[in-house]
C-alpha cells in the first residue's frame, strides 16, 4: 500500500468517524479499514533455510516435546542440581567456590591469575578508526596493570556487583578489534559481564585506582570500581544464601522507579539473578513513598561513596516475570520457554550490547533453573558436567547425525567457539536455538549462501555449512545432555 493511499484511507476513516454513518458509509469504512490493515501487514520473511513461521512459536516446540513421555517431567530435582553444581565447582578448573577462598593469596599467585587474562595478543589489533595498535599502545595498557605493585602477600576482599557491568581484558573501556574485521561487534577487550548481586573476590587494583581485578564464580577479569561494593565476607555470603528469595525468570526485569533512592531505581536484572526477599514491618506499607503491596520487596546491594556495601530495599512489580522461593523446575518445557524469551535479541560478544553471546544465552537459560555452567563455550564443552558424547576428528558424519537426531530438548552441541541448544526434532532434522552471528548453507545454485543472523535464532542443524565441503556437524566435538 502506497503512502498516499494510506494517508487517503486514514483521512477517510477520520471523516467517517465525525458523523453518524449510513449503511453505505459503513461499507466504505470496512473497505477502507481492510485496505489499511492490508497495507500494515507484517508478513513472515526469512532467508533461514528450513524455518517456517510456525517454528517461531514456543508452543510448536513444547507440543512436539510433549510427545516424549519425559517432556513434562522434572529432569533433575533441586537436590540433584545442587549436588551437580557442587561436583562441577569441585572438579572444573574454571569454576570456583568463592566461599572457600583463603584470607590472602601470595603475590605470585595473584600475578599468575592476572596473566591468565591480561596479555598482549599475538595477532594484530585495530581501533575503530582503523589504526593498528602499536607496541607503545600495548605498553600503555600493560602499565595500567600495576603488576609491579603487587605485594608479596595480598589480602582478599569480597564485593557485590551493584549493577550490570562489563568484565574486561585490561582495565580500560577502549574497544579494539581484529585486523580486517568486517564489523565492530566483537570487541577483543570484552570478556564477560557481572549482574547485580554477583559475588566477586578482589585480587588487585589498576594503576589509576579505577578498576579491580576480580574473580567471580566462573571468570577472572577487570571491572570498574564504581560498579562494586565491598563488604564483609560473612555478610555477603549470608546475603547470597538467603532462604527467602526471588529468581528473575524473564529475559530482563527492572526494579520499580524510585525518585528518592536512585541506586535501587529501575535496576536491570537479567535472567537467573537471585535476590533475597524481605518485608520488615516498618516498611510494610510505605517504601520510599510508595505502598509496596503490589510489589515484591527485595534487597539490593548498593555502593556508598567510600566504596563500601550497603543493603537497600527495592520493589519489583508482582506482574513481572519472576519466581518466588525456588528456581524453575528443570523440565524440557521450561528449557524451551526460557530460551524463547531471548528469541530475536541482538548478539552481544561477552554480553556486550546489553545482550549476551552463545554461552551467555545457554548459561542464563540454565541458571534460571539453578544450574551453573562455565563461562566460555570451550570450557563448557570440555567440562564433565552432564552426559557427554565426545567425538574424534575422524568420527563419520553419519554417526553424528544419528546421535543428533536422537538428542533431547536442551542438549548442548559444541563446535569450536560456539554452542547451540537442541530445540527439538522436525521432519527428521534436529533444530537448534542459539545466539549466533552468521548463517551459511548450500544454496540452490550449488554455492554457499552467506547470511546474517546476529541474534538469538532458530535454525536447522544438519543443513548448516562452514564451506562447500564441510558442515557444522563435521565440527561438532561434543553433545552434552544435562540429565
Residue with the larger pLDDT of the pair 14 and 363? 363
pLDDT at 73 over 60: yes
What is the mean predicted confidence (pLDDT) over 68-82?
81
Q: DSSP secondary-structure letter at 42?
A: -
SS3 (DSSP) at 422: strand
* pLDDT value for 12: 44
Are residues 466 and 390 part of one domain?
yes
Q: What percent of the chain shows pLDDT beyond 70? A: 90
Are residues 150 and 277 part of one domain?
yes
Residue 319 is placed in which grid cell?
A: 506482574
pLDDT at 2 over 60: no
What is the mean predicted confidence (pLDDT) over 432-455?
95
Is 84 part of any domain? no
CA dist 313 and 3 (Å) reads 51
How far from each other are the two terminal CA atoms of the chain, in whole angstroms? 52
SS3 (DSSP) at 26: helix
Phi, psi (5° rounding) for residue 55? Answer: -70, -15
The b/e string for 303-316 (b: 16+ C-beta within 10 A; e otherwise) is beeeeebebbbbbb
Is 233 part of any domain? yes
Is 46 part of any domain? no
Say what the pTM is.
0.90
Identify whether the C-beta of residue 462 lies closer than 8 Å to the C-beta of residue 429.
Answer: yes
CATH number for the domain harbouring residue 61? 3.90.1720.10
pLDDT at 229 over 70: yes
- Report DSSP letters for 353-380, one per residue: TTSB-HHHHHHHHHHTTT----SSHHHH
Is 259 part of any domain? yes
Nearest in space to 231 (alpha carbons), one of 298, 153, 166, 306: 306
pLDDT at 433 over 50: yes
Is 44 part of any domain? no
* pLDDT value for 18: 44
What is the mean predicted confidence (pLDDT) over 364-373?
98
What is the mean predicted confidence (pLDDT) over 15-27?
53
Are residues 295 and 152 part of one domain?
yes
pLDDT at 5 over 60: no
Are residues 374 and 297 part of one domain?
no
Are residues 124 and 33 part of one domain?
no
The tens digit of pLDDT for each residue in 299-311 reads: 999 999 999 999 9
Length of the chain equals 483
pLDDT at 1 over 50: no
Distances (CA, A) of 184 to 23, 125, 129, 177: 59, 12, 10, 7
What is the mean predicted confidence (pLDDT) over 186-213?
98
Out of 25-29, 121-125, 308-312, 396-400, which region has the weakest mean confidence (pLDDT)?
25-29
What is the mean predicted confidence (pLDDT) over 220-246?
98
Nearest in space to 407 (alpha carbons), one of 143, 89, 70, 133: 70
The b/e string for 149-183 (b: 16+ C-beta within 10 A; e otherwise) is ebeeebebbbbbbbbbbbbbbbbbeeebbeeebee
* pLDDT value for 66: 76
pLDDT at 70 over 80: no
Are residues 275 and 132 part of one domain?
yes
* Confidence at 212, pLDDT banded by 50, 70, 90: very high
Please tell me the total count of domains within the chain.
3
The boundaries of the domain holding residue 460 are 53-77+330-481
Is 266 part of any domain? yes
What is the mean predicted confidence (pLDDT) over 189-209?
98
Out of 7-16, 209-218, 285-294, which region has the weakest mean confidence (pLDDT)?
7-16
What is the mean predicted confidence (pLDDT) over 53-76?
83
The tens digit of pLDDT for each residue in 240-256 reads: 999 999 999 999 999 99
The tens digit of pLDDT for each residue in 336-368 reads: 999 999 999 999 999 999 999 999 999 999 999
Phi, psi (5° rounding) for residue 208? Answer: -90, 0
CA dist 419 and 407 (Å) reads 15
CA dist 155 and 107 (Å) reads 10
* pLDDT value for 62: 94
Residue 113 is placed in which grid cell?
A: 591469575
Nearest in space to 248 (alpha carbons), one of 368, 142, 391: 368
Are residues 318 and 209 part of one domain?
yes
Are residues 317 and 173 part of one domain?
yes
* pLDDT value for 19: 47
pLDDT at 35 over 80: no
Amino acid at each position: 500500500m502506497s503512502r498516499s493511499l494510506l494517508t487517503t484511507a486514514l483521512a477517510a476513516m477520520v471523516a467517517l468517524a465525525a458523523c453518524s454513518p449510513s449503511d453505505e458509509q459503513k461499507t466504505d469504512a470496512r473497505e477502507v479499514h481492510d485496505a489499511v490493515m492490508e497495507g500494515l501487514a507484517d508478513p513472515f520473511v526469512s532467508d533461514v533455510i528450513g524455518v517456517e513461521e510456525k517454528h517461531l512459536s514456543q508452543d510448536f516446540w513444547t507440543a512436539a516435546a510433549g510427545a516424549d513421555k519425559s517432556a513434562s517431567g522434572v529432569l533433575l530435582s533441586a537436590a540433584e542440581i545442587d549436588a551437580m553444581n557442587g561436583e562441577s565447582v569441585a572438579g572444573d578448573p574454571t569454576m570456583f567456590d568463592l566461599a572457600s577462598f583463603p584470607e590472602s593469596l601470595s603475590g605470585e599467585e595473584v600475578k599468575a591469575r592476572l596473566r591468565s587474562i591480561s596479555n598482549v595478543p599475538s595477532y594484530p589489533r585495530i581501533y575503530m578508526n582503523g589504526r593498528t595498535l602499536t607496541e607503545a599502545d600495548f605498553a600503555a595498557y600493560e602499565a595500567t596493570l600495576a603488576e609491579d605493585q603487587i605485594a608479596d602477600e595480598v589480602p582478599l576482599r569480597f564485593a557485590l556487583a551493584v549493577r550490570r557491568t562489563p568484565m574486561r581484558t585490561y582495565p580500560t573501556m577502549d574497544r579494539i578489534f581484529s585486523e580486517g574485521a568486517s564489523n565492530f561487534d566483537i570487541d577483543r577487550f570484552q570478556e564477560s559481564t557481572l549482574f547485580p548481586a554477583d559475588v566477586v573476590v578482589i585480587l588487585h587494583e589498576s594503576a589509576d585506582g579505577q578498576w579491580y581485578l576480580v574473580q567471580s564464580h566462573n571468570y577472572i577479569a577487570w571491572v570498574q570500581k564504581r560498579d562494586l561494593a565491598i563488604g564483609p565476607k560473612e555478610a555477603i555470603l549470608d546475603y547470597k544464601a538467603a532462604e527467602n528469595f526471588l529468581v528473575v525468570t524473564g529475559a530482563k526485569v527492572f526494579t520499580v522507579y524510585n525518585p528518592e533512592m536512585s541506586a535501587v531505581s529501575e535496576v536491570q536484572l537479567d535472567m537467573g539473578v537471585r535476590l533475597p526477599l524481605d518485608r520488615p514491618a516498618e516498611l510494610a506499607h510505605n517504601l520510599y513513598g510508595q505502598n509496596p503491596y503490589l510489589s515484591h520487596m527485595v534487597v539490593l546491594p548498593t555502593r556508598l561513596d567510600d566504596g563500601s556495601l550497603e543493603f537497600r530495599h527495592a520493589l519489583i512489580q508482582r506482574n513481572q516475570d519472576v519466581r518466588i522461593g525456588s528456581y524453575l523446575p528443570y523440565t524440557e518445557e521450561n528449557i524451551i520457554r526460557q530460551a524463547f524469551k531471548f528469541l530475536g535479541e541482538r548478539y552481544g560478544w561477552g554480553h556486550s550490547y546489553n545482550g549476551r553471546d552463545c554461552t551467555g544465552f545457554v548459561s542464563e537459560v540454565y541458571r534460571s533453573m539453578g544450574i551453573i555452567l562455565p563461562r566460555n563455550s570451550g570450557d563448557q564443552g570440555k567440562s564433565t558436567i552432564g552426559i557427554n558424547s565426545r567425538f574424534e576428528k575422524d568420527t563419520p558424519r553419519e554417526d553424528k547425525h544419528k546421535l543428533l537426531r536422537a538428542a533431547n530438548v536442551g542438549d548442548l552441541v559444541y563446535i569450536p567457539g560456539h554452542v547451540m541448544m537442541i530445540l527439538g526434532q522436525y521432519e527428521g532434522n534436529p533444530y537448534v536455538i542459539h545466539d549466533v552471528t552468521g548463517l551459511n548453507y548450500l544454496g540452490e545454485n550449488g554455492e554457499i549462501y552467506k547470511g546474517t543472523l546476529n541474534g538469538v535464532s532458530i535454525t536447522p542443524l544438519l543443513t548448516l555449512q562452514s564451506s562447500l565441503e564441510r558442515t557444522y556437524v563435521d565440527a561438532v566435538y561434543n553433545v552434552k545432555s544435562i540429565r
